[in-house]
Amino acid sequence: MAEVLQAASRESMASAAARLDAYADSATAADLRRLGDELFSVTRLLDGERSLRRLLADPSSPEEARAGLVERLFGQQLAPATLDVAKGIVAARWSRPGDLVSAFEAVARQALLAVAEKEGSLDDVEDELFRFGRVLDREPELSTLLTDAARPADGRVALLDQLVRNKVSPVAAALLQQSVRLPRARHLDVVSEELAELAAARRDRSVARVTTPVVLSPEQEQKLTDSLARLYGRPMSLQIELDPGLLGGLVVQVGGEVIDGSVASKLAAARRSLPR
């Protein structure tokens, strides 16, 4: 079950996700992989250092002071992009110190999913994570072994590697490994399915819902796909719906963004501009 965040943390989490998306659209897969790995390292540190996460999430401390502490602690250890993301996270307002840990983990997960997005493998990652979650649901003892914090983390990861080696993609394997290293009192079968849901949500960012008054030719579809891929910096797929009421042009929706180039929209805009 996903965490229930209070208002301040929800807003900060949404802002962190938006900053990650803005960076991911122009970053390379290698850059995103490093970002994710380094953010997971910070997540584990904060999870184990209660006093540090309380300092970094203290709303009474100025944003500059919290960001400066991150700079002093991690400035020589993290890539510049990771450091910028980390400073942005700690500068935000968090309802509870634990929410700060959740934010680092959430952005790290999204960074690795963005690698699959760049590589066009989000469908596979989603399916692999969901199927692994189903396996663990049928084998609760195995799930317990993988998340038993009393056992050394390296041993748990080695067990996981035996189970998924050559069966899942590198991104799915990395996400599962990080979840095993930092179980946070969660059931891995539930975490796996939550990760699958995150992959599905991220994949939705790369689906363009196109409304058109006429059937597009294969050449037109390919041209539109290529143009959108250049615009958004990632592979895109089209979902096309016919609507003769548009008269001409296209309406394209990618995630929450709508590009309305329809004739009907232009006529409506012209009517609104006429003097009354």
DSSP 92-126: S--SSHHHHHHHHHHHHHHHHHHHHHHHT-HHHHH
**pLDDT category, 2, cuts 50, 70, 90?**
low
Please indicate, yes or no, whether the overall pTM of this predicted structure exceeds 0.75: yes
pLDDT digits (tens, 9 = 90+) for 78-108: 999 999 999 999 999 999 999 999 999 999 9
Element (H, E) at 90: helix 80-91
pLDDT digits (tens, 9 = 90+) for 115-137: 999 998 999 999 999 999 999 99
Beta partners for 70? Answer: none
**pLDDT category, 111, cuts 50, 70, 90?**
very high
The amino acid present at 107, given as its one-letter code, is V
- 33, 25 in Cβ contact below 8 A? no
**pLDDT category, 61, cuts 50, 70, 90?**
very high
pLDDT digits (tens, 9 = 90+) for 19-37: 999 899 889 999 999 999 9
Nearest 5°: phi and psi at 93?
-100, 130
The amino acid present at 142, given as its one-letter code, is L
